[in-house]
Amino acid sequence: MKLKHFTTYHQIRRTFSTLMVEPLQEEPLKFENTAANYFQLDPNPSNNVPRQVRGFAYSKCTPTPVKNPYIASLSESALNIIGLNKATLLDNKQLYADYLSGNRLFPGSIPISHNYCGHQFGTFAGQLGDGRAITLGDVKTGDGGLMELQLKGAGKTPYSRQADGRAVLRSSVREYLCSEAMHYLGIPTSRAASLVVSDETKVQRDPLYSGNVIWEKCAIVMRLAPSFFRFGSFEVFKERDPMSGRSGPSVGLQDDMLQHMLDFVLDHFYADLPIPDPPLTIYQSFFQELTRRTVKMVSHWQCVGYVHGVMNTDNMSILGLTIDYGPFGFMEYFNPRLVSNHSDQEARYCYENQPKTCKYNLKRLAEALDPVVPLAWSMEYIDKKYDEMYSGEYLDMMARKLGFKIQGQAKAELSDAEFQLISSLMGHVMPETATDFTNTFRILSKVTKVGPLDEVLDKLVSYSAPIEHKKAMNKPHYAPGALLKIKDILENNPHVLAMFGLDPDMARKELELYEKYKAFDTQSEEAHNLKNRETWAKWLIQYQKVLNPSITDQARAESMNKVNPKFILRNYLLEQAIRAADDQGDYRVVEDLLRMASDPYSEERISEVSVQPAPKWAYELCVSCSS
């Protein structure tokens, strides 16, 4: 039998007497408080004091008020999911600014924060938890599902560690816009309903961890998901890690808690999971489905050029959603080693590593779910199925991006020629030419089965990276002297590479980067463009030959343009929006980006300026975990 702990709203109101709780004229939100009612809550009254929380999945938390909050932007479609009306909110701006910032509690809300751990950059970090996110509860959606309302940046919780529980404006603008952009790109994601800002509540941050500490405005994003349970939610039982010396806060309690937590996830978010044939259990069936969802998610990432930036197990959704938008980036000039996170010096979470990182994270989850999901079985399942599932999903998406399959067409085996074209495009042509990822696929939709390729070729070359940018992209992560030592170790004592955080493959890639980097010193821009033109011309001739003669050029182009966006959130566009908001309090650029992100495949609604690759001033833009 499941243990349940019910806490009345009046008890919460007495406990959180510092917050204003007053009924709305119309009470549009009817809170279910599913997690608060299912789990016994941490009873410690010090709900805003950082500490280790043992034996509880959630703690009660009070949002900490900010000074004079105001609504900066609202996502109408996200608000509609939870039954809120944008016009109503704008007619009552100050009241709803208080609700959406946490200054007031919605009637019926039981605010809580979640306890979880995580492997960060491959090392177990112990207890992490919702350090600045407070869940208000969940509500039923129009389709009968559940949607959790969470305020990010709402103040300290037991999981804040040494931090202040706040989120700053720049990171909040990024999360707000990208959550919505990913939804409209068709990628499984959490949503963002509102962006609320306080110009008067400020906190200190070091944006690039360079020692340059500045004061920044605070902001709060209301984000939505059926649940924010993570892989790391189940790592709270982990015994002492020999590398980090850390353990989970609930080590030794898995017999009491693990199955109960799994049942919560299965009962509420995997209710449609078919009962498996023996000897598989429902928990093994869940693990299979989560693996499938994770594969689908990361395949989508790769096919739009999205780089998450911080793929720790605590940032991996148990529902297969993209969550926790921090130092993310979208691919512009193609670079398989693209790192969006300034803190990721070893490129652990670069673009090309994302699929294998998801596989690694699933294995860490498998360890955490043992023995309810037997470890030997789950590890064997991942090793046998993951790569095959990823390859199938990724190739199917790429086939549609290139027009080998059109919308409505069922999955089918790729021909050898189609497979070779995908492989050569992503493995050779794009890395060699560093052509703008998003624009490439829109341009390719203009290729016809017969006819000249000159116009398409001119466009592709014009969207290829200038030589100075290409050189910067290939800059090694190690100094020349260090690379000489790495080369010597690789040739004579490769087992020693682990001491430097490298394996032989990584070492070889670094050495290859260095050779490419040096080669640019002797190459002119003209020669560079000519080489790009030759590379593209060879591929385009083969591509044109392979196009399906039974599909008209118009049908193929229309289908391709429905899966290849015209608009993505380029870093420099986000930077412009952040500067306008922070310096002038002008959120019109935020609104413009939200409008275009809400219709990313449109030819008519997208500004031509916004689809251009980064200008020179933005080449070095990089984002850190500082937020």
Tokens of 372: 């309810």
Specify if 505 maps to a domain. yes
Q: Residue 185: enclosing H or E segment and its boundaries?
A: none
Which residue would you say has higher pLDDT here, 361 or 142? 361
Specify if 490 maps to a domain. yes
* DSSP 8-state class, residue 106: P
Tokens of 145: 């599902």
Tokens of 547: 């196009």
Say what the pLDDT of residue 12 is: 31
Specify if 528 maps to a domain. yes
Say what the pLDDT of residue 2 is: 38
Tokens of 234: 């189940």
Q: How confident is the model at residue 229 (pLDDT cuts 50, 70, 90)?
A: very high
314 is catalytic: yes
Please indicate, yes or no, whether the overall pTM of this predicted structure exceeds 0.85.
yes
* DSSP 8-state class, residue 222: E
Specify if 452 maps to a domain. yes
Specify if 5 maps to a domain. no
Specify if 306 maps to a domain. no
Look at residue 500 and tell me whether its pLDDT is greater than 60.
Answer: yes
Which of 185, 193, 196, 228 minimizes the C-alpha distance to 82? Answer: 193
Provide the residue range defining the domain that includes 439: 402-569
Specify if 498 maps to a domain. yes
Catalytic hit among 130, 314, 324, 344? 314
3-state helix, strand, coil in the chain (%, to 5): 45, 15, 40
Q: How confident is the model at residue 624 (pLDDT cuts 50, 70, 90)?
A: low
Model confidence over 299-328: pLDDT tens digits? 999 999 999 999 999 999 999 999 999 999
CA distance 96 to 1: 40
Look at residue 590 and tell me whether its pLDDT is greater than 90.
Answer: yes
Contact between 349 and 357 (Cβ < 8 Å): yes
Mean pLDDT in the chain?
92
Model confidence over 9-46: pLDDT tens digits? 333 333 333 455 554 545 579 999 999 999 999 999 88
Say what the pLDDT of residue 304 is: 99
Which of 365, 370, 234, 372 minimizes the C-alpha distance to 291? Answer: 365
- Look at residue 234 and give its three-state secondary structure: helix
Number of domains in the chain: 1
Compute φ and ψ for 223, nearest 5 degrees: -110, 155
Specify if 116 maps to a domain. no
